[in-house]
A and B are shown apart, each in its own frame.
Chain A
């Protein structure tokens, strides 16, 4: 059985009519066989069809060919789930069940992920309490259960973690999120409007640039806007500044979690230096207001450019010095190595993304596989490490810091001339676009579907955290419960980016 699916690039619009609408059986078979052949399931989501049914869209990413493909099916109330044959669909199907009251039959783990009334229920519908669900339980005399959160000791976001332990050893960890659910996806329908970009920039505050890039490229693709070269470079620079700041902060936090003070203290400071580079361009440390569809709102003059390069060099030198202390400390390496290990096959099966996947030795990086913007012209070598443990996740971050630093230096040295903002026209009606960006946490996927008047009929956001939370749960199996904070930090996933 062969199905003709349109193949398209990252940020390239396709007419909705050309996305094949298959029978559920064929839809399942097509996704399962593509994923077995090595494609990633970038998105799987529902949207209401005109006939009252729910249309399920699947977006597959073939990283070897650099091509995306999309397919859809229509379901009514229930359908045989994909998860049993394709674990990557696990979280997506739970989301579909929760959003549209459609049951993926045979799903092994069908529980809410965000705890909201489904989208087709009446406005008055009572919202379930987050965390009010049956948790997986291990029985036995010596088993004890530890519940952590949703309120944590540190200043972090809320999330509930339920451990089933035998002494210090964790048999199973279940993660229950949803405390930060704001209903962003429904709020985007009918857009884009004046508020859209602000919602996008605050999807996950530390990935403002990443999400804004994905959104802007989706709008530009749908409107056929050519973004000026200078703006594309500045976007790339801002994206890498975001990565530099967050990776540096993560390395410091990892050191802090094992009680290694010098690196923790210095990296906290240097993270601020990187954030201030973004602030020097646009006035916001997190890059709010920097990107707009059509380009960027802030240009960089020659003086600022050399100033940025100078400050970047000094911050890169500082971070090299601060992390060298940590890499050279045997007591730190003893904690990092063989902690929270994920094998490459588990990583592939779960469809993990970003530094977590690259730490398992998997070459997966949107900047290389599905390049857009400046990354079509300037490539950053992939940073990977094979051991899949906390050390690998830390080391991949350090490699990426160095390579992002080099990339930004090169780009600032050869900034193209010209404008930084192009006018954006109306969006093509009845089109679908998939826009991928490699945020610092991994693949950010935005899928926009326009209606007949060129407004958003559906705007699906897949934050990398959505893909990776299950990875954290698996990484904790057979680990020491006292190593959980360290493992958690090595993933450093977003709660609000997941909860939307």
Chain B
């Protein structure tokens, strides 16, 4: 059975950058451009891994530790999430708290690394990231709490597996609200429009990207790969709630899960192409909306 649980992890490690490739390609097609190859994120990672890294004299070991801790904590977090018909590698009561704080740990170290540079840009980015994630976190918790209340499970893997069409049939409003909250958190946590613009070159407007300006080479590869894994993780939760396909055949379920990921990636590309970024002051309001939606879902 161990193989069955390692498989989701392998799929995540292999396919996470592809999801970003699909989003980028979707945006290109809508903008009328050819767009970069779907595999470009992999090429970028390969290129970065073969580069050297330059470290500023003002930085300390924290700066170098940041990317590693961030990637490691995301890898651990992925082990808690099931995919398709396969359960997660590890599951225990209350593990969603570990999941949330593993991601918080990764973020904490990236923020520390950003502050370690002493750059005013990175300090600004760190302040924004921390402010917004402090609001995204309750939304995530409340969403998971709503699901836990509905399914009676308090561990991620059984909880997500327990969501089924029959749950949709009698608790559609609750699941719909949870899904909406999760999608907002997904966009915010992964630095997508309308919260952040992953393609902008304007340091003053960035949130996530500006924190990692000083990282290069393998360190930056770890950050990029970590970002891809984080997106995969959130997308997995959304797809598990939105498409609870439990046919009994795990391979079919996994294929459906992958199709769901593809659709979510395309949908993200469409969202990014159809609206502008929010003014930075309005981002907390959007996250508050997510909190309110998730609270309603808990109450329903």
Q: Quick one: given A265-B33, A480-B281, are A260 and B204 in contact (CB under 8 Å)?
A: no
Seed contacts A259-B197, A334-B282; 8 additional CB < 8 Å A-B pairs? A259-B193, A259-B272, A261-B272, A262-B30, A265-B31, A334-B279, A480-B280, A482-B204
Tell me how far the C-beta of A344 lies from the nearest C-beta in chain B, rounded to whole angstroms: 24
List, in ascending order, chain B residues with CB within 8 A of A266's CB.
Answer: 31-32
Is A262 in contact with B204, judged by CB distance below 8 angstroms? no
Is A261 in contact with B30, judged by CB distance below 8 angstroms? yes
Contact of A146 (CB < 8 Å), options: B124, B274, B275, B276: B124
Is A259 in contact with B281, judged by CB distance below 8 angstroms? no
Interface size class of B (residues with CB under 8 A): 20 to 34
List, in ascending order, chain B residues with CB within 8 A of A257's CB.
Answer: 200, 202, 205
A484, B201: Cα distance in complex, Å: 13
List, in ascending order, chain B residues with CB within 8 A of A261's CB.
Answer: 27, 30-31, 272-273
User: Does A125 reach chain B (CB closer than 8 Å)?
Assistant: no
User: Does B44 reach chain A (CB closer than 8 Å)?
Assistant: no
Tell me how far the C-beta of A254 lies from the nearest C-beta in chain B, rounded to whole angstroms: 10
User: Does B109 reach chain A (CB closer than 8 Å)?
Assistant: no
* 0/1 string, B62-84, CB within 8 A of A gives 1: 00000000000000000000000
Q: Taking CB as reference atom, which chain B residue is nearest A256?
A: B200
Q: Which of B124, B202, B279 has the most CB of A within 10 A?
A: B202
* 0/1 string, A132-144, CB within 8 A of B gives 1: 0000000000001
* 0/1 string, B266-288, CB within 8 A of A gives 1: 00000011111111111000000
Which residues 236-281 of B sit at the A interface, judged by CB distance below 8 A? 272-281
The 10 closest A-B pairs by CB, nearest first: A265-B31, A259-B197, A258-B276, A259-B277, A485-B202, A260-B276, A331-B275, A331-B276, A153-B201, A482-B280
Listed by A's residue number, 18 A-B pairs whose Cβ atoms lie within 8 Å are A146-B204, A148-B204, A153-B203, A167-B127, A168-B124, A168-B280, A258-B277, A261-B272, A261-B273, A262-B274, A265-B31, A266-B31, A334-B276, A335-B276, A335-B277, A335-B278, A482-B205, A483-B279
Is A154 in contact with B201, judged by CB distance below 8 angstroms? yes
List, in ascending order, chain A residues with CB within 8 A of B273's CB.
Answer: 261-262
User: Does B218 reach chain A (CB closer than 8 Å)?
Assistant: no
Q: Quick one: given A145-B120, A261-B30, are A154 and B202 in contact (CB under 8 Å)?
A: yes
Q: Quick one: given A147-B120, A259-B197, A262-B31, are A485 and B276 in contact (CB under 8 Å)?
A: no
A483, B200: Cα distance in complex, Å: 13
Q: Quick one: given A144-B123, A331-B194, A335-B277, are A485 and B204 in contact (CB under 8 Å)?
A: yes
Q: Taking CB as reference atom, which chain A residue is nearest B282?
A: A334
A154, B205: Cα distance in complex, Å: 13
Is A153 in contact with B202, judged by CB distance below 8 angstroms? yes
List, in ascending order, chain A residues with CB within 8 A of B121's CB.
Answer: 146
A153, B121: Cα distance in complex, Å: 12
List, in ascending order, chain B residues with CB within 8 A of A265's CB.
Answer: 31-33
Which residues 442-496 of A sit at the B interface, judged by CB distance below 8 A? 480-486
A7, B123: Cα distance in complex, Å: 57
A483, B202: Cα distance in complex, Å: 10
Q: Taking CB as reference atom, which chain B residue is nearest A480?
A: B280
Residues in chain A within 8 A of chain B (CB atoms): 144-148, 153-154, 167-168, 255, 257-262, 264-266, 269, 329, 331-332, 334-335, 339, 480-486
A288, B278: Cα distance in complex, Å: 41
Is A146 in contact with B31, judged by CB distance below 8 angstroms? no
A144, B204: Cα distance in complex, Å: 14
Is A335 in contact with B32, judged by CB distance below 8 angstroms? no
A485, B27: Cα distance in complex, Å: 22
Tell me how far the C-beta of A35 lies from the nearest C-beta in chain B, rounded to whole angstroms: 35
List, in ascending order, chain B residues with CB within 8 A of A146's CB.
Answer: 120-121, 124, 204
Tell me how far the C-beta of A163 lies from the nearest C-beta in chain B, rounded to whole angstroms: 8
A168, B194: Cα distance in complex, Å: 18
Is B203 in contact with A335, judged by CB distance below 8 angstroms? no
Is B204 in contact with A259, judged by CB distance below 8 angstroms? no
Is B205 in contact with A485, judged by CB distance below 8 angstroms? yes
Is B120 in contact with A480, judged by CB distance below 8 angstroms? no
A262, B272: Cα distance in complex, Å: 10
Is A481 in contact with B124, judged by CB distance below 8 angstroms? yes
Q: Quick one: given A144-B123, A257-B202, are A480 and B279 in contact (CB under 8 Å)?
A: yes
List, in ascending order, chain B residues with CB within 8 A of A167's CB.
Answer: 127
A255, B127: Cα distance in complex, Å: 26
Q: Taking CB as reference atom, which chain B residue is nearest A264?
A: B31
A105, B188: Cα distance in complex, Å: 54
List, in ascending order, chain B residues with CB within 8 A of A483's CB.
Answer: 205, 279-280
Is A331 in contact with B278, judged by CB distance below 8 angstroms? yes
List, in ascending order, chain A residues with CB within 8 A of B272's CB.
Answer: 259, 261
List, in ascending order, chain B residues with CB within 8 A of A259's CB.
Answer: 193-194, 197, 199-200, 272, 276-277
Tell me how far the C-beta of B160 lies from the nearest C-beta in chain A, rounded to whole angstroms: 32
Q: Quick one: given A144-B120, A148-B203, are A168 and B275 in contact (CB under 8 Å)?
A: no
Tell me how far the C-beta of A469 lies from the nearest C-beta in chain B, rounded to whole angstroms: 18
List, in ascending order, chain B residues with CB within 8 A of A154's CB.
Answer: 201-202
List, in ascending order, chain A residues with CB within 8 A of B204's CB.
Answer: 146, 148, 481-482, 484-485
Is A260 in contact with B275, judged by CB distance below 8 angstroms? yes
Tell me how far the C-beta of B24 lies from the nearest C-beta in chain A, rounded to whole angstroms: 11
A167, B279: Cα distance in complex, Å: 15
Q: Taking CB as reference atom, which chain A residue is nearest B27?
A: A261
Is B277 in contact with A168, judged by CB distance below 8 angstroms? no
A264, B32: Cα distance in complex, Å: 11
Tell me how far the C-beta of B14 lies from the nearest C-beta in chain A, rounded to whole angstroms: 29
A261, B199: Cα distance in complex, Å: 10
List, in ascending order, chain B residues with CB within 8 A of A332's CB.
Answer: 275-276
Tell me how far the C-beta of B121 lies from the nearest C-beta in chain A, rounded to whole angstroms: 7
List, in ascending order, chain A residues with CB within 8 A of B32's CB.
Answer: 265-266, 269
A466, B273: Cα distance in complex, Å: 36
Tell me how far the C-beta of A291 lies from the nearest C-beta in chain B, rounded to whole angstroms: 34
A145, B282: Cα distance in complex, Å: 23
A260, B200: Cα distance in complex, Å: 11
A401, B27: Cα distance in complex, Å: 27
A147, B118: Cα distance in complex, Å: 13
A260, B274: Cα distance in complex, Å: 7
Q: Taking CB as reference atom, which chain A residue is nearest B207?
A: A482
A145, B32: Cα distance in complex, Å: 40
List, in ascending order, chain A residues with CB within 8 A of B274's CB.
Answer: 262, 329
Tell me how far the C-beta of A384 lies from the nearest C-beta in chain B, rounded to whole angstroms: 25
Q: Taking CB as reference atom, which chain A residue is nearest B32?
A: A265
A339, B282: Cα distance in complex, Å: 14
List, in ascending order, chain A residues with CB within 8 A of B123's CB.
Answer: 144
Tell me how far the C-beta of B60 lies from the nearest C-beta in chain A, rounded to whole angstroms: 21
A144, B124: Cα distance in complex, Å: 10
A164, B280: Cα distance in complex, Å: 18
A356, B184: Cα distance in complex, Å: 37
Tell me how far the C-beta of B211 lies from the nearest C-beta in chain A, rounded to whole angstroms: 14
A331, B278: Cα distance in complex, Å: 7
Tell me how far the C-beta of B280 lies from the nearest C-beta in chain A, rounded to whole angstroms: 4
List, in ascending order, chain B residues with CB within 8 A of A258's CB.
Answer: 276-277
Is B202 in contact with A329, judged by CB distance below 8 angstroms? no
A261, B26: Cα distance in complex, Å: 11
List, in ascending order, chain B residues with CB within 8 A of A148's CB.
Answer: 203-204
List, in ascending order, chain B residues with CB within 8 A of A481's CB.
Answer: 124, 204
* 0/1 string, B29-43, CB within 8 A of A gives 1: 011110000000000
